[in-house]
Amino acid sequence: MDPALFMRRHWQRRPLRVAGAFAGLDWPITRAQLFAWAGRDDVESRVVQRHGPRWEVRHGPLARKALPPVSRPGWTLLVQGVDLQHPAARALLERFRFLPDARLDDVMVSWASDGGGVGPHLDSYDVFLVQVQGRRRWRIGPVAQPRLKPGLPLKILDGFVPEEEQVCEPGDLLYLPPGWGHDGIAEGDCMTASVGFRAPARDELAAELLARLGDAIEERGGGLYEDAGARPTTAPAWVPESLQRYAAAAVRRLVAEPQALNRALGEYLTEPKPRVWFESRPAATLRRGVTVTPASRMMYDMDHVYLNGESWRASGRDAELMRRLADRRVLDRAECASASRAARGLLLEWLRQGWLIDGSQP
């Protein structure tokens, strides 16, 4: 489906199923590979198992022996951030870059034994569910007033009434906007890749930006509240109104500068995920071009380039080059050579930090 049509009709609005959207997808990620990732402490994973009305959730790392046998029905393993672990998941992600990186969360891959699933639930995410192996039956429906079943270790909708039912086969795609309840049950064992897009929550975003602006401004010190000429008080515990006005003005001042706010946002959006670490490499050269490391988050706005929670002011030709690097995630040798001395210095520094990889062939 054409991205423009999809954005107009479905994105954030209504579900879409496209049979065979990913027919012939190259997917070398095996069940054994997923089980191996579940054993690692730098990969986020969990196992969900149903025992009748009771649900059990265990978080990774989980050794192979700690996983239920493959032949046991009704369980599923979910592995987050597979795009950082395997180029096939990254290639899948590339197909969704008609959406801003700022909205992207990750690629989660789940394997389920027959009858496995995580129960009917809601996500605050837009999600593209790509069936990569086997069959999964999805029951979906809008949920206006979500009620959760009490006392369970995971969020399961109480009284979920699905509106439709779909069976996804390998290569099929199901898109769900936030607020749509869904319940996917494996028919035979199956594997599903979920490309998730998060929507920042307003108040969470505000709290985060205020904290960042606060940190930035604290370093500068600023003036002091003055109350010269104040009269003696008979209510010493009373908070002076002039101090309240001063406080309100101070907070307004904090958010008044759009540049600073944008910078805080860009730095926040590109903050590396937890458990991500970069391998520094002392020797660096731009002779083979550079590629952005999969775990690196790189974005830009009108005035800044952001990489892994840091920002640089950029303008002119260098800004153009850095933007190209952020969008395409690669610069070839000639592009590197055309950068200014300062920009080349920056690229070399990023290479040394492991934020970029040597070479323009990812």
Q: Which two tokens stand for residue 132?
A: 């990569």
Smallest separation (angstroms) from Mn ion to the CB of 127: 6
Nearest to 161 by CA among 186, 180, 187: 180
Smallest separation (angstroms) from Mn ion to the CB of 123: 4
Closer residue to Mn ion in complex, CB, 110/353: 110
Q: How far is the C-alpha of 282 from the C-alpha of 316, rounded, in Å?
A: 29
Ranked by CB distance to Mn ion, the top (closest) residue is 123
From the list 88-96, 118-126, 336-344, 351-359, the region that binds Mn ion by CB under 5 A is 118-126
Q: Draw the binding track, 266-305, toward Mn ion (x: CB under 5 A; -: no contact).
A: ----------------------------------------
Q: How many residues bind Mn ion (CB under 5 A)?
A: 1
Q: How far is the C-alpha of 125 from the C-alpha of 106, rounded, in Å?
A: 11
Q: Which two tokens stand for residue 56?
A: 């059990």
Smallest separation (angstroms) from Mn ion to the CB of 183: 9
Q: How far is the C-alpha of 76 from the C-alpha of 187, rounded, in Å?
A: 12
Asked if 306 and 299 touch (Cβ cutoff 8 Å), the reply is yes
Smallest separation (angstroms) from Mn ion to the CB of 213: 34
From the list 99-107, 121-129, 137-145, 265-273, the region that binds Mn ion by CB under 5 A is 121-129
Nearest to 38 by CA among 13, 75, 88: 75
Among 114, 123, 301, 358, contact with Mn ion (rule: CB under 5 A): 123
| Identity of residue 238 | W
Smallest separation (angstroms) from Mn ion to the CB of 108: 9
Q: Which two tokens stand for residue 93?
A: 């992600």
Q: What angle do CA 129, 325, 5 make, to 5 degrees?
A: 40
User: Which helix (DSSP H) or strand (DSSP E) does residue 191 occupy?
Assistant: strand 180-198
Smallest separation (angstroms) from Mn ion to the CB of 174: 11
User: Which helix (DSSP H) or strand (DSSP E) does residue 218 occupy?
Assistant: helix 202-218
From the list 42-50, 119-127, 284-292, 319-327, the region that binds Mn ion by CB under 5 A is 119-127
Q: Which two tokens stand for residue 345?
A: 């210095």
User: Could you say whether residue 169 binds Mn ion (CB under 5 A)?
Assistant: no
Closer residue to Mn ion in complex, CB, 193/339: 193
Q: How far is the C-alpha of 302 from the C-alpha of 189, rounded, in Å?
A: 48
Residues 38-67 that bind Mn ion (CB under 5 A): none
Q: Draw the binding track, 67-106, toward Mn ion (x: CB under 5 A; -: no contact).
A: ----------------------------------------
Asked if 268 and 341 touch (Cβ cutoff 8 Å), the reply is no
Cα torsion 309, 276, 32, 21 to 10°: value is 0
From the list 123-131, 209-217, 219-227, 247-255, the region that binds Mn ion by CB under 5 A is 123-131
From the list 86-94, 117-125, 286-294, 314-322, the region that binds Mn ion by CB under 5 A is 117-125
Residues binding Mn ion (CB under 5 A):
123
